[in-house]
Structure 1
């Protein structure tokens, strides 16, 4: 008798696919016996979920899954043979447009999404967009799927997904660069590495939470400190005068350019 498996993640043992899978299970959106993933029998990330089915090939996954998540590198996707007519196909791949997904899968129910590494701790931001053939039920499922690992928004078109791949798809990378610069400077001033790291990371985490809870924009927070006239004001003015905004914008432009090539 065919098992009751509805969601299949090709690449479900990778860092992103497994983060999504584990978050969805933890949220209760699906039961373990409703998830099938491609994963080696010797190395899988679902040992805490014994009801999950791990298969070694995408062909075996396609035999039982009704909704397919593609969480592989674009070059790996090009090597797959997929026949997914009438199935909901959700791609987590950068740089693979909907027209290519539709051609390769023969499905007209396509979603493109871009979670980030914070999905591993249930704190991703995930933008997604879809082809017109998705039903209201499809859209509701996709929103709940990505909300299980953080916050998600349906955006208007693929060009916005491409841009957000560069911006929010970076996950902790850009904030980590700021954190590293702050930590390094603290260490040069004699602060121990452990104290510097703990202080900087908790400051950044607390700042994000404060802005979210106060519903304040980052610029409102910056303006508040610029107007205060204290030591932080001096630091902000120096950073701005030395091209902080320009450096960040150039970094985003470079990342966005890489997405489009």
Structure 2
């Protein structure tokens, strides 16, 4: 347990709320040291001990570390003064320099969790702008380990790229699962069977990757020259990886355009 006061602006939204629940469950900070902003001043998280405020300024004043968990387009209207505070931004496309300029924060961390925070399985890359104390870095790592795994990156641009990779959460697996099911149905497989088969591949069978190297698994299956190999070869020769690369670059470009907006 860390004796810091943590404030979450947007702390009862889907992302801020998921982090708040995890922080309480893991006992990262004393219960009374968690402050959430909420327009109504009421929320079930208050029943678990979190303090609710309706004023973001009051939250910042009472907090050592402030998480901003709002949509990027709402940032400009926050108008908070975080002098002497550490600000952790969960917003895509808002640069650390912009956050410093608008909030006067003494330290800024940009981080990009994904929707898997809800089940404690997010991967969260984070980046420290300028000098950030080692104790603060340890706190940030512990904070995001409450909702999964985390790693510090050394370039802010990496956060923008990873916004299009890990930040997408279940989007890519959902697209693959939908494509597999649709193609099976197009081949005449009943919809319920097609969906079960696709879900088994994407959700269940992929758990094998927890204990296996992905490239080694692909190489072994291709070398076996069976049904799976035939299917994989079509995807490989169809430039599947190149298409993924183009998708990630386009997503990263969208994040960078946000930085410049």
Normalised TM-score (structure 1): 0.90
Separation of aligned partners in 1, 2:125 and 2:38: 26
More helix by share: 2
Q: Of residues 147, 151, 157 in structure 2, which corresponds to 1:149?
A: 147
Alignment match, 1:92: 90
Q: More displaced, 205-214 or 154-163?
A: 205-214
Partner of 1:35: 34
CA distance in 1, matches of 2:82, 2:6: 13
In structure 2, distance between residues paired with 1:132 and 1:99: 10
For 1:205, the equivalent position in structure 2 comes to 203
Paired residue total: 255
**What residue ranges of structure 1 are gaps of 5+ in the alignment?**
none
CA contact (8 A) 1:124 1:150 kept: yes
- Greater Cα offset, 180-189 or 194-203: 194-203
Please, which of 232, 238, 246 is the counterpart of residue 250 of structure 1?
246
**Residues 85 and 108 in structure 1, CA contact (< 8 A), matched pair in contact too:** yes
**Which residue is 1:235 aligned to?**
231
Give the superposition deviation at 1:191: 3.8
Other structure's SS at 2:67 match: strand
1:22 is matched with: 21
The change in CA–CA distance for 1:243 and 1:45 in structure 2 (over 3 A counts) is: farther
1:160-212 CA distance string (max 9 Å, x none): 11111111111110111011101112233444444433332232234443222
The whole-number CA distance in structure 2 between the counterparts of 1:144 and 1:196 is: 41
Number of the residue aligned with 1:123 = 121
Cα distance 1:33–1:192, how it changes in 2: closer, same or farther (>3 A)?
Answer: farther
Other structure's SS at 1:84 match: coil
1: CA distance between counterparts of 2:229 and 2:88?
46
Give the CA deviation at 1:86.
Answer: 1.4
The question of 1:140 aligning with 2:138 is answered yes
Secondary structure of the structure 2 residue equivalent to 1:177: helix
**TM superposition shift of 1:39:** 1.9
Determine if contact 2:176/2:202 at 8 Å carries over to the other structure: no
Tell me which residue corresponds to 2:81.
Answer: 83
Residues 45 and 92 of structure 1, relative CA distance in 2, 3 Å threshold: farther
Verify the 8 A CA contact 2:222 2:232 in the aligned structure 1: yes
Question: Any gaps of 5 or more consecutive residues in structure 2?
Answer: none
How far the C-alpha of 1:242 sits from its partner, in A, is 2.6
2:163 pairs with 162, 165, 185, which one?
A: 165
* 1:165–1:259 CA contact under 8 A, matched in 2: yes
Q: CA RMSD in A?
A: 2.0
For residues 48 and 218 of structure 2, what CA distance do their matches in structure 1 show? Answer: 48
> Contact conserved, 2:70 with 2:91, CA < 8 A, in 1?
yes
User: Within 2, Cα distance between the matches of 1:164 and 1:123?
Assistant: 16
